[in-house]
Amino acid sequence: EKVFAGKVALVTGGSRGIGAAIAKRLARDGATVALTYALAKEKADEVVRSIESAGGRALAIQADSADAVAVRNAVTETVRAFGRLDVLVNNAGIAVFHPLDEFSLDDFDRMVAVNVRGVFVATQEAARHMGQGGRVITIGSCTADRMPVAGGGPYAMTKGAVAALTRGLAHDLGPRGITVNNVQPGPTDTDMNPADGPQAERMRKAMPVGRHGHADEIASMVAYLASPEAGFVTGASLTIDGGYNA
Ligand code: NDP
């Protein structure tokens, strides 16, 4: 019997990168998976097809994480389609870096809306549908603990915010048997942070393992936290960064 057999997961931002890897991993382990995306409908449909061709069930939902109504609807649509919700993975995020003097408040507000407010709204709505054994996992960032370059203060702030939110929400949901955790990746090879991008060399030099992470490696930690085995882990931020912060 697969570990997530009979369970339903919702992954925000599941069309590409880390979120797509998480959606596929949970599906491989037996979960039925809904995933949201903002723009990349083709990519989202591709993830659904890949899950279905491996014998799983999946659904793609367009929902901008900055739009609270769309986020709530994505949660209720998941429950309507699949009958329940066991695992929420708050993965959707954007990274806007600018020199301090050029950082617009529109960029600041958009990043807070997607990376922080969207996480709160999704968790609030998802919790209404979860029972004992429910799991909330947010993808934060190792930059919550250490931001080594200029221009990334507001991004690091949003990831520090979800770490703190995680600690608080663990108290709201612990009594109901629901755990709330935060996974903090380091440099991971995706469109957001390609292993051959302009910052890649600097990052690699700062990592004891000397390479970017693979999205599958992040998905593996998420799969552990989502599993019944992880029932004693809550309110935690788990860093998975190849030693970037070490
Ligand atoms: P990508 O940019 O490669 O993918 C982002 C995903 O999120 C896409 O599926 C995208 O969908 C979706 N998304 C973006 N904005 C929104 C939105 N407003 N509403 C709904 N979905 C949205 O990023 P990664 O996979 O690299 O990052 C995933 C998470 O991991 C983020 O929270 C990021 O901050 C975090 N992270 C990443 C690291 C890295 O090195 N890659 C390191 C540390 C943390 P669409 O294409 O449709 O817009």
> Which ligand 1 atom is the nearest neighbour of the CA of 215?
25
Closest by alpha carbon to 65, among 105, 99, 24, 94? Answer: 94
ipTM topping 0.90? yes
Q: Is 182 a member of any domain?
A: yes
Mapped onto helix, strand or coil, the DSSP state of residue 87 is strand
Q: Output the domain CATH number for residue 187.
A: 3.40.50.720
Percent of the chain with pLDDT over 90: 100
Q: Is 245 a member of any domain?
A: no
Q: What letter would DSSP give residue 114?
A: I
Q: Is 224 a member of any domain?
A: yes
Alpha-carbon gap, residue 195 to 172, rounded angstroms: 38
Residue nearest to atom 31 of ligand 1 (CA): 93
Give the per-residue pLDDT at 186: 98
Residue nearest to atom 10 of ligand 1 (CA): 13
pLDDT in tens, 150-179: 999 999 999 999 999 999 999 999 999 999
Q: Is the pTM of this model over 0.90?
A: yes
Q: Is 243 a member of any domain?
A: no
- Decide if 155 is catalytic: yes
Q: Is 157 a member of any domain?
A: yes
pLDDT in tens, 90-149: 999 999 999 999 999 999 999 999 999 999 999 999 999 999 999 999 999 999 999 999
Residue-number span of the structural domain to which 181 is assigned: 8-238
Q: Is 105 a member of any domain?
A: yes
92 Cα to the center of ligand 1, angstroms = 5
> Which ligand 1 atom is the nearest neighbour of the CA of 65?
19
Count: domains in the chain: 1
Give the per-residue pLDDT at 122: 99
Tell me the mean pLDDT in the region 6-33.
98
Catalytic pick among 37, 155, 224, 244: 155
Q: Is 123 a member of any domain?
A: yes
Q: Report whether residue 95 contacts ligand 1, using a CB cutoff of 6 Å.
A: yes
Beta strands in the chain (DSSP E): 8-11, 32-37, 58-62, 87-90, 135-139, 179-185, 237-240
Mapped onto helix, strand or coil, the DSSP state of residue 133 is coil
Q: Is 99 a member of any domain?
A: yes
